[in-house]
Amino acid sequence: MSTKQIHLEVQAKQYRFVLKLLEALPFVRVSQPNKPVLTAEQQANYENVQQGFEELKLMRAGKLQAQPIQQLLDELSD
């Protein structure tokens, strides 16, 4: 059996409805979009940003002490 592929652009607010509708059709196979592949450098940057957000949450919760900005600037200038 031969198949064809289509690409749909749907308004964000209608996305879930259209996806469920298509998945309900027995002759349609729905593929989820692939996650973008990150380079090693991009992955490292992403992980650093994630760690920063985790540390920020801990600081706001009082579980981690914040470093004074001047101390941070001094470390960067060394």
Would you state the structure tokens that stand for residue 42, as one six-digit string? 């991009």
Tell me the Cα Rg of the chain.
Answer: 23
- Residue 62: the pLDDT is 93
Give the global pTM. 0.47
| Helices (H), ranges, the chain | 15-24, 40-60, 69-77
Q: pLDDT band at 57, cuts 50/70/90?
A: very high
Which tens digits make up the pLDDT trace of 5-55?
998 999 999 999 999 999 999 999 998 777 778 899 999 999 999 999 999
- Residue 14: the pLDDT is 95
Please say if the pLDDT value at position 78 is more than 90: no
Would you state the structure tokens that stand for residue 6, as one six-digit string? 């289509």
